[in-house]
Amino acid sequence: MARIGIPRALAYYIYFPFWKTYFEELGHQVVESSPTTRAILDQGIKNTVSDACIPIKVYHGHVEDLKDRVDYIFIPRLVSMRKFGDFGTETMCPKFLGLPDMLAASINDLSPVLEARLDLKKGKSELFKVYSELGKRLGAEFFQICRAFRRASKVQKDYEQLLQRGIMPDMAMQQVLAGSYKKAALAGSPIGHNPYSLAVVGYPYAIYDHYINVGLISALAHDGVRVYTQDMLSNRQLKSQSFKLDKDMFWYFSNRVVQGALYYMDVKPVDGMIHITAFACGPDSIVDKFLEIEAKRRGLPYMAITIDEHTGEAGMQTRVEAFLDMLEYRRKKLES
């Protein structure tokens, strides 16, 4: 049995249930890195190049946190995550494409890396092919690989259904991996109890890492806000918004942000929208301007929050309170 480390960053918030289930079904122990802390962030800053965005810095810190505690670190090379017929030119950010190489060059005494190159534009069977090869490298027999893949796919599907019911990833992971999916599906609901509903859009590793966004989601929940994210929408709901664009964005997560934002602007109206964007992220600068223009056209209150290693809780709280005060003023003005 091997100890396989999975960094609690980047694609973790979307695919961790699949990864954990797959490796455990093959008989291995999955070790998560610790939740993000100042020490983890500082270590990541130390290891990365100066112009890296904060999610990449955080990822390096999580790898550093794992490297002396595991036999392998699973670092997938994500190229594309949707089949060719849907988004033919879509790919992942270059930092995702080169992530294993960046880490090998930046971190000394790195544990052996389990790398998997995922390019789903190649066809429907590509995902199984990649994980089949990964299982063989870990010494698994074919029937074990098939069983683990089926089980992991089922858990991932259940996890995505929980997200679509409005449950945040940390709670959805906890419940689906504990096998309490049906109970969670009945009990779960979006964060908050009104008086306002807000769409919080952005890359999942910016929305759901409580440290780097200094507790934005928790702050909104504390104020009774009902929170929706693009990950609470199905692929069909997201794809339904593509016709509103002259062309799709080039990046996978950027497409999800734009499509999710348009859905909440037009199909499931919300009282306002917050876009969490990472400083030094090139694609994000395009996405943010587009969303700002579209929100203005519809008269929807919109706020962009840029995060980096210097983002402070006090500043975040002040901006959130001001945004909610503006919504309250706007509501009263419309009612009068």
Residues near 272 by beta carbon (within 8 Å), at least 6 away in sequence:
196, 198, 199, 300, 301, 302, 303, 323, 327
Provide the 10 A C-beta neighbour count for residue 215: 15
Strand order in the sheet with 226-228: 226-228, 197-202, 272-278, 302-307
Condensed to tens digits (0 to 9), the pLDDT of residues 238-265 reads 989 988 877 777 888 899 999 999 999 9
C-alpha dihedral sign at 72, 80, 108, 16? negative
The dotted CATH code for 190-335 is 3.40.50.2300
Contact predicate 70/5, CB 8 Å: yes
Contact predicate 8/36, CB 8 Å: yes
Domain with CATH 3.40.50.2300 in the chain: 190-335
Instruction: Report residue 221 as tokens.
Output: 């929940």
pTM assigned to the model: 0.90
Contact predicate 270/198, CB 8 Å: yes
Query: Digits of tens for pLDDT over the chain (336 positions)?
Result: 899 999 999 999 999 999 999 999 999 999 999 999 999 999 998 888 777 888 889 999 999 999 889 999 999 999 888 764 555 567 888 888 888 998 988 888 888 999 999 888 888 889 999 999 999 999 999 999 999 999 999 999 999 999 999 999 999 999 998 876 555 444 445 666 657 899 999 999 899 998 888 888 888 888 889 999 999 999 899 989 988 877 777 888 899 999 999 999 999 889 999 999 888 777 788 899 999 999 999 999 999 998 877 766 767 788 888 888 888 888 877 776
